[in-house]
Chain A
Amino acid sequence: MANTNQLKQPNGNADHNAAPAQNSFGKPNIEHTNPLAKTLLEKLDYDQLTNCMRCGFCLPACPTFKETGMEPASPRGRIAMMKAAVDGLMVPDQQFQDQMNLCLGCRACEPACPADVKYGQLIEQTKEAIEEHAQHSLPIKLIRKTVFKSLFPKRSNLKLLGKSLALYQRSGIQALARKTGAIKIVPKHLQELEGVLPSASSKGVVERLGTFVPAQGEAIAKVAMFRGCIMDVMFADTNVNTVDLLSAAGFDVYIPEAQVCCGALHAHSGEMEQARELAAVNIDVFKALDVDYIVSNAGGCGALLVEYDHLMHKDPRYAEDASWFAERVIDISSLLVQKGRELRFIHDTGAEPASKVTYQDSCHLRNVMKGASAPRILMKQVEGAHYIEMKESDRCCGSAGIYNVVQPKMADSILEHKMEHADATSASYMLTSNPGCLMQMKLGIDKYQPSQPMKAMHIVDFLHERMVLSKSK
């Protein structure tokens, strides 16, 4: 077993470098024959790859490492593979791509990293490269095209979807599909998801409230609401409640009608160009309003919005405005806590002891928007409710955008562990700050049946229902 495998000489001589010849401090100077390797070399930020010094502090934060116990399924392992592919030490084969796709993108590794490695950017660049060379089957191609190019970017189509879904749910077709077993033609994990879909609506927040709702009392600041696309079709009530809370806390609320999808689902699926096109529209629309804050009530959207500056930094037309935009993005809970007039919330349980309330972090709200404390502060303010911290509440629930649809096995394994911790809190309410997490929690409750009744809600809806209007200071 002589040193045939040795990529590097042990210490004692100066030749320490495993990587091939390099352009001074830049990327390796290497002609890849593999097309994906070539694209990875082009897209990946080589400095970020080098910044990972492999200390391993990210390992305990990573849900897929925790589930598998295998180094390749950890952030350190994935970064090592990205770098190996770029350095020509490994061919980015199907296994490489599968491992990258197994990453939830929860970014819990980022706050755990003392070296400040931007893992989120690296995995996005990798997925973008993979997507450029993807050989999708025809049906998948069609679905991707419909979803990414027609559905999310175009509001009219989304509304149509909302309408159809509402029709499906209310016309009795849903009941019929379930009763006859027709629903069983779709895979089991999709059936389960179908079971927890909220009542859709074709009427979004603008259709219900118009494009401006003034502050109650003197206005503290001028905010614009980012309504989201899933939020506005599936959780339009939550959007309406968000506006209500903001207005009650003293904000003038604008809801620009021309805003489009944030592009997060595109970015996480490697469709970066489309994400940038959508970002450009949003930046123009919100900049024109000259608001103090741009409020999101979905951690998944907010996390991309708050990184528009990074997304657009190479675009000279948008770089500056994108920074303006990113600086103003804030989650509803953080804005209420940091700037809003204090609201009073009462949970009336009659003579019963206080209801227990627990919370599942939205990974992107916590790890990217750094907004983990505000929701907890608000929940603790609710009179008559008792906040209980769930074990590993900061760990991804497995929803992760469309992860639970494309990686059902890992998502379910994560969800099962999550629901064990949820059950241990014996809470009556499971609150979240993101639609994907909310549906995943509903699914978890449905599937794993906690030992006492538990209701999953968006924190905005929970607070709105308990808001005491008259006495707000």
Chain B
Amino acid sequence: MLNERMIKQLKSIVGDQYFRVDQEALIAHSYDGTPMLQALPDGVIYPETTEQVSEIMVIASQHSVPIVTRGSGSNLCGGTTPLSGGIVMVMHRMNAVLEVDMENLTATVQPGVITGQFIAHVEELGLFYPPDPSSMKISTIGGNIAECSGGLRGLKYGTTKDYVLGLTAVLPSGAVIRTGGKLTKDVAGYDLTKLLVGSEGTLAVITEAILKLVPKPKTKKTMIAMYKDIYGAARTVSDIIKAQIIPATLEILDNATIQVVDDFAKIGLPRDMEAILIIEQDGEPEVVERDIASIYEICKQQQANSIELAQTPEEAEKLLTARRSAFTALARLRPTTILEDATVPRSKIADMILKTNAIAKKYNVNIATFGHAGDGNLHPTATTDARDHEEVHRVEEAFAEIFEAAIDLGGTITGEHGVGVVKAPYLEWKVGEAGIEVMKGIKAAFDPQNILNPNKIFAKQGKKRVVIQHG
């Protein structure tokens, strides 16, 4: 509980209506997009300026009260669930695109800007902001920066980290730091910009960002290749990369995912196929033509049953929008969907799919797989029911083994969703004991009182890695 004095202080900063401790506000900020996690905060605050954020942090430090920042609450690793109580800071009111600099090709934005709206805005100006997480219709740029979100265009264009040039951020003490700038080169000290990207709200509150924009590709072409054999699809992915073609998008959907996505989007996906690949290339017209023709040949060599080109941009957009619904659409099968984002080097995609399917069989759980095959970032998704504790336990064991398999293949436990609380027990498997210690040291340097999103990233107790005999 917060004491009366603190409540009064916070209300005087943002105004009565923007600091709430009523039941309704607490319940509606007790969750994010992560299944099976819920915890009530003690208050919810909606700041409007960097100065307000700074004043709030001073008060929070004085009272040692946790601050959990969030945008739209679409986080998938429990990162924005207030598991240690405290105050949820919603960044929605800071939602202005402050500037699009046509000379430097940068945009300066507040954290509450909705990603999809921002992308549409810069595209109208003939520019392009590539990071496109599937939740972009609701996700905020601030949330994307905090999690270093990826998306469908990751393999060719990189992820959020590759587009953040500078940040304004408030430290727990209330001090405001400005990192980077409208600069392509800047080696003045440690790269705090990159450090804050993906820091999951544990180091500072981001209140402004300078983003890199690129010219909008002149043209794009989208195709769909259908397979009776999922490994044929996976091998196609490796073959495309081996041929030194880097498509803008290279997505895979397995049969279970195809079915539910089509139930939702009703665009006539082939329900009898074991897998489809959605492939998009953008750029100069002649390059796009040439690449698409080469990809077509590779698909045929890998026994694709059918290959179709989207006839209009609308048709292509529908296909990609349908793909973006996959995670939620899988909830049509069972009420709870547990989605992970284990990532492997892209040459290992076929191996990873094989392993995932074997693990699902071993633990007798349903795992649908879709994801960004082209950059090795898969989304194995277990469909289950939170009320079935025994099954959920098996799902957890299966995922532990999937993380293990990913690391064995030279991969990681999370490619784009973040560690949060869900993957905290496994972090050490990836970064090692010394890695954890360095990260804890960084956390302490920024946040000595441990009030910013406490108990995230670092587990109280790591999960013991069981060495499994593969063979």
A residues in contact (CB < 8 Å) with B: 1-8, 10-12, 14-18, 22, 24-25, 47, 50-51, 53-57, 59-60, 69-72, 74, 77, 80-81, 84, 89-91, 93, 95-96, 99, 113-116
- Number of residues from B at the complex interface, CB < 8 A: 70
User: In whole angstroms, what is the CA distance A54 to B37 when docked?
Assistant: 11
- 16 residue pairs of the A-B complex, CB under 8 angstroms, read A1-B65, A3-B83, A10-B83, A11-B423, A11-B425, A12-B463, A16-B36, A16-B386, A53-B33, A53-B335, A53-B337, A54-B33, A60-B114, A70-B28, A72-B27, A115-B328
Q: Are A57 and B25 in contact (CB under 8 A)?
A: no
Q: Given A50-B336, A55-B328, A60-B138, answer yes or no on A22-B387 (Cβ-Cβ < 8 Å).
A: yes
Q: B388 within 8 Å of A by Cβ?
A: yes
B455 at the interface (CB under 8 A from A): yes
In the bound assembly, the distance between CA atoms of A24 and B73 in angstroms comes to 30
Question: Does B138 lie within 8 Å of A80, measured CB to CB?
Answer: no
With A57-B137, A60-B137, A81-B24 known as contacts, the answer to whether A1 contacts B86 (CB < 8 A) is: yes
A57 touches B325 (CB 8 A): yes
Query: Are A6 and B328 closer than 8 Å at their CB atoms?
Result: no
B27 near A84: Cβ-Cβ < 8 Å = yes
Tell me if B149 is interfacial: C-beta within 8 Å of chain A.
no
Shortest Cβ distance from residue B90 to the other chain A in the assembled complex, whole angstroms: 8
Alpha-carbon gap, A69 to B92, bound state (A): 7
Tell me which residues across on chain B come within 8 A of A114, comparing CB atoms: 260-261, 264, 325-329, 331-332
Residues of A within 8 A of B33 (CB): 53-56
Of A59, A74, A84, most buried by chain B (CB within 10 Å of CB) is A84
A116, B83: Cβ atoms under 8 Å?
Answer: no
State whether the Cβ of B84 lies closer than 8 Å to any Cβ in chain A: yes
In the docked arrangement, what's the CA distance between A89 and B74, Å?
22
> B424 contacts A11, CB within 8 Å?
yes
What is the CA–CA distance of A53 and B383 in the complex, to the nearest angstrom? 12
Contact partner, B85, options A5, A12, A18, A57, Cβ 8 Å: A5
Alpha-carbon gap, A150 to B107, bound state (A)? 61
When the two chains form their complex, are residues A80 and B30 in contact, meaning their CB atoms are under 8 A apart? yes
B35 to chain A: which residues have CB within 8 Å?
53
Chain A residues with CB under 8 Å of B396's CB are: 11, 14
Shortest beta-carbon distance from B76 to chain A in Å: 9
Q: Are A50 and B335 closer than 8 Å at their CB atoms?
A: yes
Question: In the docked arrangement, what's the CA distance between A24 and B463, Å?
Answer: 29
Indicate whether B389 reaches chain A with its CB closer than 8 angstroms.
Answer: yes
Instruction: Confirm or deny: B42 has a beta carbon within 8 angstroms of a beta carbon on chain A.
Output: yes
Interface contacts beyond A10-B37, A54-B31, A114-B329: sample of 14 additional A-B pairs, CB < 8 Å, sorted by A: A7-B38, A11-B37, A17-B387, A51-B331, A53-B33, A53-B35, A55-B328, A57-B138, A60-B114, A69-B92, A71-B73, A72-B25, A80-B31, A81-B27
> Are the CB atoms of A1 and B64 closer together than 8 Å?
yes
Q: Tell whether B421 is near chain A: CB-to-CB under 8 Å.
A: yes
Do A47 and B335 have beta carbons less than 8 Å apart? yes
| Segment 61-111 of B: residues with Cβ below 8 Å from A | 64-66, 72-74, 78, 82-86, 90, 92-93
A80 pairs with B65, CB closer than 8 A:
no
Q: CA of A107 to CA of B434 in the docked complex: distance in angstroms?
A: 52
Which B residues lie within 8 Å of A72 (CB)? 24-25, 27-28
Residue in B30, B78, B85 whose CB lies within 8 Å of A11: B78
In the complex, chain B residues whose CB is within 8 Å of the CB of A16: 36-37, 386, 389, 392
Report B10 CB to chain A, min CB distance, Å. 15
A373 to chain B, nearest CB (A): 13
Residues from chain B with a CB closer than 8 A to the CB of A91 are 23
If A8-B38, A50-B335 touch, whether A115 touches B84 (CB-CB below 8 Å) is no
With the chains together, A89 CA to B261 CA distance in Å? 33
Considering the chains assembled together, what is the distance between the CA atoms of A193 and B178 in angstroms? 54
Q: In whole angstroms, what is the CA distance A72 to B93 when docked?
A: 15
User: Is B22 at the interface (CB under 8 A from chain A)?
Assistant: yes
Q: Is B32 part of the binding interface, using a Cβ–Cβ cutoff of 8 Å?
A: yes
A74: B residues at CB distance < 8 A: 28
Verify A55–B74 contact, CB threshold 8 A: yes
State the CA gap A115–B335 with chains docked (Å).
8
Inter-subunit contact B27/A89 (CB<8 Å): yes
**Assembly CA distance A84 to B30 (angstroms):** 10
**A25 x B30 contact (CB < 8 A):** no
Closest to B325 in A: A114
Kindly provide the distance from the CB of B269 to the nearest chain A CB, expressed in whole angstroms: 14
CA distance A12 to B396 in the complex (A): 9
Residue of B nearest to A81 (CB): B27
The residues of A that contact B72 with a CB separation of less than 8 Å are 56, 59
Q: How far is the CA of A115 from the CA of B385 in the complex (A)?
A: 14
Report the bound CA distance from A160 to B378 in whole Å: 66
- B184 in contact (CB, < 8 A): no
Indicate whether B459 reaches chain A with its CB closer than 8 angstroms.
Answer: yes
Distance of A296 Cα from B454 Cα, bound (Å) = 56
Query: Are B41 and A5 in contact, CB atoms less than 8 angstroms apart?
Result: yes
CA A12 to CA B455, docked complex, whole Å: 13
CA distance A427 to B86 in the complex (A): 51
Is B40 positioned at the interface, with any CB of A under 8 Å from its CB? yes
Residues of A within 8 A of B31 (CB): 54, 80
- A218 → chain B, closest Cβ, in Å? 34
Interface assignment of B263: CB less than 8 Å from any CB of chain A = yes
A47 and B392 CA atoms in complex are apart in Å by 17
Q: Are B328 and A53 in contact (CB under 8 A)?
A: yes
B3-55: which have CB < 8 Å to A? 22-25, 27-33, 35-42, 46
Interface: B135 (CB within 8 A): yes
Q: Which residue of B lies closest to A61 (CB)?
A: B137
User: Which of B36, B137, B264, B326 meets A116, CB within 8 Å?
Assistant: B264
Q: How far is the CA of A369 from the CA of B265 in the complex (A)?
A: 16
Contacts A6-B84, A14-B393, A57-B138; is A51 near B24 (CB within 8 Å)? Answer: no
In whole angstroms, what is the CA distance A8 to B30 when docked? 11
The chain B residue sitting closest to A98, CB to CB, is: B24
Contacting residues, chain A, for B32 (C-beta < 8 A): 54
CB <8 Å contact, A80 and B28: yes
Q: Nearest chain-B residue to A9 (Cβ)? A: B83
Identify the interface centre among B28, B29, B90, B388: most chain A CB within 10 Å of its CB: B28
Question: Given the complex of chains A and B, what is the CA–CA distance between A116 and B423 in angstroms?
Answer: 28
Chain A positions within 8 Å of B352 at CB level: none
Q: Chain A residue with minimal CB distance to B112? A: A69
A24 with B387: in contact, given A53-B336, A114-B329 (CB under 8 Å)? yes
A114-B386 Cα distance, complex, nearest whole Å: 19
Q: Contact between B329 and A115 (Cβ–Cβ < 8 Å)?
A: yes
**Cross-chain contact A53 with B392 (CB below 8 angstroms):** no
Question: Is A6 a contact partner of B388 (Cβ separation < 8 A)?
Answer: no
* CA gap between A16 and B421 in the complex, in Å: 13
- Given that A22-B387, A53-B331 are contacting pairs, would A95 and B24 also be in contact in the complex, using a CB cutoff of 8 Å? yes
A67 to B84, CA, bound (A): 31
Q: Considering the complex, give the chain B residue whose CB is closest to the CB of A49.
A: B335
